[in-house]
Structure 1
Amino acid sequence: MKQELRFERSEFTHRLDAVKKEMKARSLDVLLLSEPSNANYLTGYDAYSFYVPQMVVVALNHNEPVWIGRGQDGISASMTTYLSKNNIRPFPDVFVQSALSPYDFVAEIVKEICGERVRIGVEMGGYYYSARAHADLLKALPRASFTDADLLVNWIRLVKSPAEIALMREAGQIADAMMYRAIEIAAPGVRECDVAAAVYHQMMAGTPAFGGSYTCSPIYLCVGEKAIAPHAAWSDDPLEERTVVNLELFGNRHRYQVNLARTICIGSPSQKYQKLADVVVESLEAGLDAVIPGKTAEQVHAAFARNLAKHGYEKDSRLGYSLGLGYPPAVGEKTVSLRKGDQTVLRPGMCFHMMSGLWLENEGITITQPFVVTETGYEALTKIPRQLFIK
C-alpha cells in the first residue's frame, strides 16, 4: 500500500510535542479533535470523509494520536497517516446516520486509553463539533470533566515550518495560474459560469509541475451590480461591456491554501474607478511595508488604514487573516486578524491574506496579496501584479 505522507515523521513528532505541552499547561489529559485541518496537522489524515463524525484523540499517556472514523475510511487513514494499525480505529457502518451515536464508540476508546476520570478538551467552536456530539459525549463519559479547548491546535499551526511554506508557495503558483486564466477568458459575451468553469479547471490542473485540489470554499465571482457583495454567486449571464468583475479564488496544494483576489474591468474603467484602484494598491503597499517581525497585527492594519484615510476612504471589515492548512467550509485559522485591537506579534513563518477589498455603496474592488512573514519583512506568495486588469 502506497503511503502518502506529505511531511517527515519528525515534523509530526514536533507538532504533537507542541500540542501535548499546551495540554499540560491547561491540565488536560485528553484532547478530542473534530476539525479536519487539525486532524491532518497531527496525523496527515486526508480524505473527504468529514461529512460523518470523525475524531483524532490525543492523550498525554499515549505515544501516538488515535484516529476514529467511518469503517470504509480506515483505508485512507492507513494510506495517509503514520499511525500504527492499533491507533486507527474505524467504527462499523451501523453508526453512520442512524439512531446509534458514534460518540459512544469514541467514549469507549477514551476509557480504554485513559480511564473514565479524565480532563477532556473539545473544540466547542469547531465547524464539525455539533451540540449533539457534545451531549452524547457528556452522557457517555459521565465521570470525565470537559473544557473548551477550541483553537488550541490552531494557534500552534499559526507559525509554519519550512516544509509547510514550500507547499504554500506551490499553492500560490496555482492561484496565479487560475487568475491569469480568468483574465484570459473574461470578455464581452462570455458567460459568468464559463469564467468560473475555466478557473475551476485550472484549480485542479494546477501547473505543469504539480496539480491542485478542491478548495475550502467556492470561488467568489461577483459581477456588475454584485461587485459590491464580497461573497456573491455567479450566474449564467454573459459579461457586458464596461462591467466590473471581482474574483476571489484559491490555490490549494495538499490542503494548504492561498487566497487571491483581483478586479477585472471589461472595457475601460471610468477615471474615478481607476483612481479608486490606484488608492487601494497604494494602501495595500503601505500595509505590506509595515509587515515586519515584532510588529503587531494592529500596526499593519493601521498603516493600511492611514493611507486609505488620506484619500477619504475607510474599510469597515478586517484587513486580513491567517491562512494555511484547511478544509471546507473555510481556510481561515480563526486566530490572528489584521485589524484594530489585535495585538498578536508577527513572527517569521506566519501566513496571511491581506484582503484589501473595498465594498462601497455603489462600487467594489478587490486587489489583494497573500504573503508569509520572513525574518526581515514579507514574501509574496503570488506573483501576479497588484493592479486593476482591463480587458
Structure 2
Amino acid sequence: MWFDIAEYQSRLENAQKYMARHELDYLLVFEPELVTYLTGFYTLGYGTSFQCVLVPSSGLPLTVLRKAEQFHFNDTAAWLDKYLLWYDGESAPDVVIRAMAELSVKGRVGFDGASWRATTTIMDRVRGAIRASFIDLGTQLDSLRFIKSQAEIAYMREAGKAVSLMHEAGIRAVSPGATERDLMIATASAGLRGGSDQAEPGPLASGERAYHIHSCFQDRVISHDDLVFLEMCAHKKNYHARCMRTIVVGQHDDRMVDTYRRFVDIQDEALATIRAGVHCSVPDRIVREGVVKTGWVDQYPNKTFYGIGMMFWPNTYEKLEVTHNADFHFEAGMTFHAYISARGLNISESIVITDRGHERLTTFDRGIILK
C-alpha cells in the first residue's frame, strides 16, 4: 500500500458520508484514479485492463479486476479480502453485471458517468440487467480527491524536488548545437535520479514550437536566439508536481525579458491573495487583467489554475479548474498547477492551499533564464 490503512478507512468513510447525503445505496466507480483512491489497488494495466469498484453504503468495497492484475492487487490494495476476478474473454458489461449480481445490488446506484471508462455500452447493458435506479454523478465523485492529506502532499513535495533537478539539468543542456532530444535525455535522467517514478519529463520545445504549450520534443537543433520551453513534470506514486520556465538563448529582446518579469510579479500578486475561504475569482482576475495590461497579448482566455494530484494516463489534471466563470472557494489541502502562458512566455508553480495562504511545492528560481 502507498499509505497506511487509516488513510483508506478515512477515504471510505468520506465516500459513504457522500452516499448518505445523496441517498445512495451503492457507488459504481470506474475512473482508475478513484478506484485506486478508494481501494489502494494500482496497476499499469488500467490502460488495457478493465477495473472498477462497488462501494456499499456500509462495509468494505468490492474491487473488480482482471485475473492478470491479481499480483498488483495483492501488492497494493487495502481491502485484500473483497475482490472479484474476471478472465480474458469476458466483456466489461458482463463483468459489471456479475459483480452487481454477487452483491445483490438494488436501490439507488450512483456512478461516475464522466469517466472515460464508463462507456454507454457498459451502462446500457447494466441498466437492462440490474433492477436498480442508476444516477449519473458526472464528475461529482472527483471532489472526494480534491482535499489532500498530509501524506499525499508529502509525495507531491518529493515530486517538486525532482522537478527542480530536472530544470537544472535542462538549463545546463541548452546550448546552440544541442538538440531537443539532448534536453529530453538530460531532464529525464535527472528526474529519475531525483526520485521521480516516471521517465517522461513533460512538454519541451524550441524555436517556433516554444511559443505553444503541449509541444513534444523532436530532433530539432537549438540555434542562437532561440526560445526554449521546459514544462518539467515528475511524480511520486503518481502524485504529480509540474513547473514551467522559459529560456532565451543568445541575444534577447528587452521587452520580452521585461514582460516575463512582469508576469512573475503578476502571478506573485495573485498567489498572495490565496488562502482557504477565498473565492477563486480573486486571483484569477489579477492574472487575467494583469497579463492583458502588459500589452504582450490582446486577450487572455486561458485557465489560470487547475487541479493536480494523483493522475494516471490519459488524465493530466484533476477536474477542478479556475476559468473566467469558475465558481468555488479554495479549501485547505487543495493542490493546483498555477500558470501564466502567453506568446512564448511561461511561468508556473505547483501549490497547495493552506488556511493562511499557500505553499509552493515547486521551488525552482522564478527568473527568466538567459543563456
TM class, shorter-chain normalised? over 0.9
Q: Is the 8 A contact 2:187 2:201 kept in 1?
A: no
Matching of residues 109-128 of structure 1 within 5 Å? 109-115=99-105, 117-128=106-117
Q: Is the 8 A contact 1:296 1:346 kept in 2?
A: yes
Distance 2:157 2:150 in 1: 10
1:259 pairs with 2:242:
yes
Q: Match for residue 339 of structure 1?
A: 323
Q: Match for residue 98 of structure 1?
A: none
Offset from partner CA, 1:106-126 (integer Å, 9 cap, x none)? 2122122133x3322222111
1:134 to partner: Cα distance: 2.2
Offset from partner CA, 1:141-183 (integer Å, 9 cap, x none)? 2x22211123233112111111111111111111111111111
Distance 1:131 1:239 in 2: 47
Q: Match for residue 355 of structure 1?
A: 339
Q: Is the 8 A contact 1:54 1:68 kept in 2?
A: yes
For the aligned residue pairs, the C-alpha RMSD in angstroms reads 1.7
Helix, strand or coil at the partner of 1:159: coil
Task: Quickly say closer, same or farther: Cα 1:41–1:316, change in 2 above 3 A.
Answer: same
1:352 to partner: Cα distance: 0.8
Q: Match for residue 119 of structure 2?
A: 130
Q: Is the 8 A contact 2:184 2:201 kept in 1?
A: no
131-140 or 376-385: which moved more? 131-140
1:12 to partner: Cα distance: 0.8
Amino acid at match of 2:363: K
Distance 1:38 1:27 in 2: 20
Q: Match for residue 302 of structure 1?
A: 285
Q: Is the 8 A contact 1:31 1:122 kept in 2?
A: yes
Helix, strand or coil at the partner of 1:252: strand
For residue 60 of structure 1, the aligned residue among 32, 57, 62 is: 57
Distance 1:228 1:214 in 2: 25
Distance 1:204 1:35 in 2: 27
For residue 94 of structure 1, the aligned residue among 89, 94, 99 is: 89
1:262 to partner: Cα distance: 0.7
Q: Match for residue 81 of structure 1?
A: 77
For residue 319 of structure 1, the aligned residue among 279, 282, 304 is: 304
Q: Match for residue 358 of structure 2?
A: 378
Q: Match for residue 108 of structure 1?
A: 98
1:347 to partner: Cα distance: 1.6
1:194 to partner: Cα distance: 2.0
Helix, strand or coil at the partner of 1:247: strand
1:20 to partner: Cα distance: 1.0
Unpaired runs of 5+ in structure 1? 96-100
1:236 pairs with 2:219:
yes
Helix, strand or coil at the partner of 1:294: coil
Distance 2:223 2:120 in 1: 47
Distance 2:303 2:96 in 1: 38
Q: Is the 8 A contact 1:120 1:147 kept in 2?
A: yes
Offset from partner CA, 1:205-230 (integer Å, 9 cap, x none)? 3x2xxx22138x87111321112221
1:202 to partner: Cα distance: 2.6
Helix, strand or coil at the partner of 2:319: coil
340-349 or 160-169: which moved more? 340-349
Give the number of equivalent residue pairs. Answer: 368
Unpaired runs of 5+ in structure 2? none
Matching of residues 161-200 of structure 1 within 5 Å? 161-200=149-188
Q: Is the 8 A contact 1:74 1:88 kept in 2?
A: no
Offset from partner CA, 1:301-330 (integer Å, 9 cap, x none)? 112223324323442111111111110112
Stretches (4+) displaced over 4 A: none
Offset from partner CA, 1:53-78 (integer Å, 9 cap, x none)? 110111114x2111111101011111
1:368 pairs with 2:357:
no
Amino acid at match of 1:94: G
Distance 1:133 1:249 in 2: 37
Offset from partner CA, 1:81-101 (integer Å, 9 cap, x none)? 11133x122211222xxxxx1
Offset from partner CA, 1:346-376 (integer Å, 9 cap, x none)? 1211111112111x3xxx1111111111121
Distance 1:270 1:317 in 2: 24
Matching of residues 133-152 of structure 1 within 5 Å? 133-141=122-130, 143-152=131-140
1:128 to partner: Cα distance: 2.2
Amino acid at match of 2:355: E
Q: Is the 8 A contact 2:112 2:141 kept in 1?
A: no
Alignment TM-score, normalising by the size of structure 2: 0.94
Q: Match for residue 22 of structure 1?
A: 18
Matching of residues 31-70 of structure 1 within 5 Å? 31-50=27-46, 51-61=48-58, 63-70=59-66
Question: What's the % identity of the aligned pairs?
Answer: 26
Amino acid at match of 2:219: D
Helix, strand or coil at the partner of 1:94: coil
1:250 to partner: Cα distance: 1.0
Amino acid at match of 1:174: A
Distance 1:15 1:89 in 2: 21
